[in-house]
Copies of this chain bind each other. A is one copy, B any other.
């Protein structure tokens, strides 16, 4: 009869909004919209609506947005790495707000807060393994430190095991943006012995690396092989298409929403940490090193 229930009044009376907040550090890196989409789909299947909050990596803005979310009585929040101070998050959590952390570094997360994360160490290992199988011995890494230490460690430890430790000058700092990948690569290319392969710990940096290598007049993968990490959608359409380590984003999203809804429903028996296994998407940016081909 044209009657439309008033969800706001219902929420008000039963203290439940069927809304969750998703707090992420940036929308500029396509990785985040991609997982946000997966989370939104999962939440909708459980009749929840998702409110997106981009903090632009500004922790003060993040805190402000959190306060607003709480004032609106979101039933819970999924908070992605880098959006907020952990002390603030812990405080909200201990005040009783259901929270799931997504992709945070191990060392900075209180163990009691449920957490879903890609196995970044394993991801680094996977990249290293691929390079080793192709025959690379002189490799370089571009990492966004200190946030992405595990990826770096996984990679380096695998090369260490293989007997080809990565020298310090072959490890460059980036900040997960395309431009930082570009300039870090320029430094690597001026080194006395050029690496035959580069691992960039985010795809966006890898695309910067790709551009820098091509701009330097070198070829990918013939002169330098390249692996990224995140397996964002655009990586299939770079030229050459980027080989990348990724995590199944739907699986990541599913684990996060499951963990959150379990808390909301009062089931606190879930394990606190869910580790998602990485995969390697081999495309056109990796091959055997030139000297090995000769």
Contact = CB atoms under 8 A, between A and B. Distances in A.
Contact of A40 (B17, B33, B54, B71): B54
A48 to B, nearest CB: 11
B4 A67 contact: yes
Provide the main secondary structure of the chain A interface.
Answer: helix
Contacts of A68: 7, 49
Interface of A: 4-9, 11-12, 17, 27-28, 30, 33, 36-37, 40, 49-52, 54, 67-68, 70-73, 178, 207, 211, 214, 233-234, 237, 239
A17 to B, nearest CB: 7
A52 to B, nearest CB: 5
13 contacts: A4-B71, A6-B71, A6-B73, A7-B68, A8-B72, A8-B73, A12-B12, A27-B36, A28-B233, A33-B33, A37-B54, A211-B239, A214-B239
Contacts of A214: 239
A54 B37 CA distance: 8
A5 B71 contact: yes
